[in-house]
Amino acid sequence: MNTRQTLVERCSALFEDLSFGASRAWKDAQPGRKVVAYMPVYVPRELIHAAGMLPLGILGAGESLEVIHGDAYYQSYICRIPRSTLELGITGRLDFVEGFLFPSICDVIRNLSGIWKLQFPDVYVRYFDVPQNYVDGIGGSYYRRELEELKEGLEHLAGRLITPEALRASITLYNENRRLIAGLYALRTERPWQVPSSELYLVVRAGMVLPVEDHNQLLKDYHAAAVEEELPIRDKSRIVLSGVFCEQPPLSLIKAIEMAGCYIVDDDFMLITRWLLQDVPLDGDPLQNLVDAFLHHSAETSAKYQPEAKLKGQYLVDAVKGTKAEGVIFAAPSFCDPALLERPMLQTKLDATLVPHIGFKYAENSGQMQPVREQAGTFADSIKLWSNP
């Protein structure tokens, strides 16, 4: 029976498995199957799926893997995700992966794509660039060419063409995936005690390693269980967690914030799962539909370039209002330049609208959560005492 507990236990096992047994099992189930990994933040997984391959999200190695080899390739004063990802590769944990996409989120990931090419010459490696301009004839044309090149590369790797019909079928599945995740986020916003964020994180994260068909079923099962099994309501402060967007926080950090008296009612974990805000249309040219969706219907976040200075950070104010949040906790990876450079601008926007906020940094393997719990607890208490007259 799919109780909340059994589902979360399954997701937890997937989360902790750094050998990626579920993805290996998918590959071994039929001869000739291939796996294409990708890093945060966004790649069009539909294209990988339409080529008959498994998209595998690699979000670093978390808390449990000691990084030894990875440190030899990078200086110590950068974030941990490239080092731990390299550790996964060098220790053979990704030896079943035939392709690897590195999205253009920062120079660190750009460098990692180069290192991967040198280190694993048999793997199809692509640095996947996305537009910083949302005009159809400029950024749109550029992105269309980028997708066409990616499509060709994936077809070559898969040994088959990606037909429009196959791409439409994949878009249908990922549209459903995005809807199901949006439904769970909406449920958490409405009744956060029913959907603890530490559970929601694991359930969504399972989609990084499972085929989308299985993940869709898992999301439906969890939603049903979360509605069914009542959990007690606590007197907590509602907060938005912001600043993550690439290297993920340890699960213990999410739990620490919750235990300190906060309901997380919105977050930017695993942005790929909520990047596109609407269903990608199925009629017409499906490749162009992916271009248009990225250009015109993608979520405003720290990871997306905002050309208009006055709109910078407005999405965060909107998220606070839309979720009836009472404050914002900035939690960003240590040494993450994009997140840390963004934060002063976001804080200014929040200050202008009198939204209280605090911030701290983490690494994916941060172990000591007592300071986080103390800060988040004090923040939650101060909201209760002074923000709600």
Site residues (vs ligand SF4, CB under 6 A): 79, 81-82, 105-106, 108-109, 246-247, 333, 336-339
Closest distance between ligand SF4 and the C-beta of residue 107, in Å? 7
Residue whose C-beta lies closest to ligand SF4: 246
Residues 192/267, Cβ–Cβ less than 8 Å? no
Q: 99 vs 333, which CB is nearer to ligand SF4? A: 333
The nearest distance, CB 333 to ligand SF4, in angstroms, is: 4
Residue 151: closest CA among 215, 101, 223, 205: 101
> What is the residue whose two structure tokens read 């606070």?
320
In the complex, the smallest distance separating the C-beta of residue 46 from ligand SF4, rounded to whole angstroms, is 23
Nearer to ligand SF4, 125 or 265 (CB): 125
- Closer CB to ligand SF4, 247 or 267, in the complex: 247
Shortest Å, Cβ 246 to ligand SF4:
3
Give least dist CB 79 to ligand SF4, A: 3
**Contacts of range 20-29, beta carbons closer than 8 Å, 24 or more positions apart:** 20/56, 20/93, 20/94, 20/96, 20/209, 22/209, 22/210, 23/54, 23/56, 23/96, 23/209, 23/210, 24/96, 26/54, 26/210, 26/211, 27/54, 27/96
| Closer residue to ligand SF4 in complex, CB, 62/333 | 333
**Amino acid of residue 175:** N
What distance in Å separates the CA atoms of residue 69 and residue 267, rounded to the nearest whole number?
32
How are beta strands 357-362 and 327-333 bridged, if at all? parallel
**CA nearest 253: which of 380, 367, 83?**
367
Count of helix runs (H) and strand runs (E) in the chain = 14, 8
CB nearer to ligand SF4: pick between 57 and 338: 338
Shortest separation between residue 80's beta carbon and ligand SF4, angstroms: 8
Q: Which tokens hold the place of 247?
A: 């290297």
Q: Are 304 and 245 in contact (CB under 8 A)?
A: no
Instruction: Kindly state the smallest distance separating residue 358's Cβ from ligand SF4, in Å.
Output: 20
83/188 with CB nearer ligand SF4 = 83
What is d(CA 191, CA 204) in angstroms, rounded to the nearest whole number? 18
Of 89 and 338, the one with the shorter C-beta distance to ligand SF4 is 338
Helix (H) or strand (E) holding 213: helix 212-228
Tokens of 74: 């990078």
Please state the closest distance from residue 297 (CB atom) to ligand SF4, in A.
Answer: 23
Q: In terms of CB distance, is 126 or 238 closer to ligand SF4?
A: 126
